[in-house]
Structure 1
């Protein structure tokens, strides 16, 4: 069946799944930390480790997906269906955690499943969209994560306020139920539109060769090294900010309603981020476009340094508007445009692994800074890594420009 415009039912349901994959399964944890701490104990540094456990699962899932697809090359839709359903059930299961270890196991499982779902949902949805509109479609899908943050923040008074000790449990259970419904919806529209018959990327034995070729591209400073480095440091920086921002606001005595509004403001601004970022990368498919969003995001993080609620909230909105969804969707779109088709699947998997590695290191480093100094310094430290990501994106843009001037293809 032919490809479609960026606005279609598959893209819509993929976006609803990203509400769960990103907004609910990953980033809601930072929002719920104060409530979780009151319910099961532990310091913020220790609970931050569970964020690392989540992304260890995410990294393992990313690394396992490619060989899994090699083993079952014609079952991409089946694997995605099972993964999305299990992710919703894992969210429901995590709501019943009473101990640190138990919650850690659920966070690991959620990370593993969300890694599978991220790549598969994006891959299946992008296969159904015209090449010229894939940046826009990617933006529409990723903005689901912003919608998830928006919804999570609205219910902050019921999830982090001391008067509602079990509120985070009810919220996670509801999120899991929504995830199961979204999985059913995505499965229905992909079957109805005939997308289940779309050809998948070549697998089997060539997959190993594709991975080797993709690594050559990523480890070559004249090709994609700076792009993947930027993605790595973005993962490192943004996860520190999203893990410790709400605990920092709560520690300042800010009412849960206001803390939730700050969180929701990130999500609301991110709804425009997905559309703006997708349009921008379609029109200017360059590392400089990526660097612009990261640089403005770095300035947004610096709002925390003022230790003032107004500037912290303004900075959070800025991050939501230009640098929350933008780096993942732009990196995805740049790879789709500039990586040979025969290694795209392997490239996306490897890029996601680098991103996950940054998210593993981030909570550990952030937790150490929080324990040694304060929540304030811990949140502010994310600006350092966002700035490094912006610089590397500039270097990638320069390298990309040199290739264009010489009219050279991105050969392996």
Structure 2
């Protein structure tokens, strides 16, 4: 059957899996935080630590995946099948949490499983797509996360309103059930596809490439170090914003429906972001493209400093439109272009581990800022790290341009000699 266009059943079901992997399992926590606090208790700083626990699990999952794939290179579909199914079930289980520690254990398990599912679902889906359309396919898959945020925002009257004390439980259970259905659908779509032929041409791996050290590739300043650094600081910055935005709005007395609409606005804008970002990285596969989205996202964060609902909402929509889905999908697409085929899953896993490390630090730093200076300052502090991510992406783009010029000059010199 070979490779397909970006729009096919595998990428569609992969996008539905990302509704669960990103929108439901990870980012819904920030949306449900006020309801969780009312029923379970604890300060926002303490509950923010559970966000850190989630990403500790996420980091461990990414670090474990690479040796697992090395040990069982032909078992990727089986590992993915089990992981996606367990992710849905653990979300259902987390809805039964009665105290802080119990919820923390569930959040840890969800983080671990979502990390493995992120890498494997992307890897399996990208293997089915033509190389020239992988940016668009990545955009389609990642926009599932935006759809998940949109849906959780619509749940706001049932999860934030004080009169519905257990609303967040029913929402999480429903999300978990959807996750089980999506896992079954993705498995069915993936099984219908015959194994694609080995990549050829620019993607063919020589024996020398097979011996390449993945760590040297990712951490070399002239290779991918600045791209990975940008991904790290993006994870640090965006998770602060998504963890404390809704608590900030609730603290200002914003009605639950309005707060939910702001959250849904991020998701709705992100639906366009996935398509635009995927097309952009296919046409301009450069760190500059990534830096542009991150810069606009940094500006969007400053919407909370206006102290107005309109300014905050406009900033949130800006983030959803240009820098929520864009960094992960563009990083995924750039890695796919510049990493040997056989090493893609391992490189994506390690890049995701750096992303997860940023997300571990983010809630701790954000929680400290909230405790010392208040929720508004805590949310706004995410702009610092988004700006650093934009700078590093720009440096990576500059390195790409310099390398391209060197290759062009070498080519011209070679033609002149001939």
State TM-score, norm by structure 2.
Answer: 0.94
User: Any residues of structure 2 matched to 1:347-362 within 5 Å, and which?
Assistant: 347-362=347-362
- SS of the residue 1:253 aligns to: coil
Counterpart of 1:4 in structure 2 is 4
Question: Using a 3 Å threshold, how does the CA distance of structure 1 residues 90 and 199 change in structure 2: closer, same or farther?
Answer: farther
- SS of the residue 1:7 aligns to: coil
CA distance in 2 between counterparts of 1:323 and 1:129 reads 24
CA distance in 1 between counterparts of 2:372 and 2:98 reads 28
CA distance in 1 between counterparts of 2:186 and 2:340 reads 28
How many angstroms does 1:199 deviate by? 7.1
Counterpart of 1:269 in structure 2 is 269
Structure 1 residue runs of 4 or more that deviate by more than 3 Å after TM superposition:
197-200
**Equivalent residues of 1:236, 1:359 under 8 A apart:** yes
- SS of the residue 2:213 aligns to: helix
Counterpart of 2:308 in structure 1 is 308
Counterpart of 2:87 in structure 1 is 87
- SS of the residue 1:49 aligns to: helix
CA distance in 1 between counterparts of 2:283 and 2:143 reads 19
CA-to-aligned-CA distance 1:63-95 (integer Å, 9 cap, x gap): 000111122111100000000000000000000
1:18 aligns with 2:14: no
**Equivalent residues of 1:53, 1:108 under 8 A apart:** yes
- SS of the residue 2:273 aligns to: helix
Unaligned stretches of 5+ residues in structure 1: 201-205
CA distance in 1 between counterparts of 2:46 and 2:233 reads 22
How many angstroms does 1:362 deviate by? 0.2
Counterpart of 1:53 in structure 2 is 53
Counterpart of 1:248 in structure 2 is 248
CA distance in 1 between counterparts of 2:33 and 2:116 reads 25
**Equivalent residues of 2:16, 2:144 under 8 A apart:** yes
User: Any residues of structure 2 matched to 1:111-130 within 5 Å, and which?
Assistant: 111-130=111-130
Counterpart of 1:326 in structure 2 is 326
CA distance in 2 between counterparts of 1:130 and 1:391 reads 31
CA distance in 2 between counterparts of 1:298 and 1:74 reads 42
1:379 aligns with 2:376: no
How many angstroms does 1:145 deviate by? 0.2
Counterpart of 1:108 in structure 2 is 108
- SS of the residue 1:407 aligns to: helix
CA distance in 1 between counterparts of 2:374 and 2:222 reads 40
**Equivalent residues of 2:2, 2:194 under 8 A apart:** no
**Equivalent residues of 2:295, 2:390 under 8 A apart:** yes
How many angstroms does 1:403 deviate by? 0.5
- SS of the residue 2:129 aligns to: coil
**Equivalent residues of 2:301, 2:380 under 8 A apart:** yes
CA distance in 2 between counterparts of 1:38 and 1:182 reads 31
- SS of the residue 2:407 aligns to: coil
**Equivalent residues of 1:213, 1:343 under 8 A apart:** no
1:171 aligns with 2:171: yes
CA distance in 2 between counterparts of 1:153 and 1:312 reads 15
**Equivalent residues of 2:13, 2:182 under 8 A apart:** yes
CA distance in 2 between counterparts of 1:355 and 1:145 reads 16
**Equivalent residues of 1:127, 1:198 under 8 A apart:** no
Unaligned stretches of 5+ residues in structure 2: 200-206, 409-418
Counterpart of 2:257 in structure 1 is 257
CA distance in 1 between counterparts of 2:288 and 2:131 reads 21
- SS of the residue 2:222 aligns to: coil
CA-to-aligned-CA distance 1:238-288 (integer Å, 9 cap, x gap): 000000000000000000000000000000000000000000000000000
Q: How many residues align?
A: 401
**How large is the RMSD of aligned CA atoms in angstroms?**
1.7
Question: Using a 3 Å threshold, how does the CA distance of structure 1 residues 194 and 340 change in structure 2: closer, same or farther?
Answer: closer
1:280 aligns with 2:280: yes
CA-to-aligned-CA distance 1:197-251 (integer Å, 9 cap, x gap): 7779xxxxx9xx86x7121122221221111110000000000000000000000
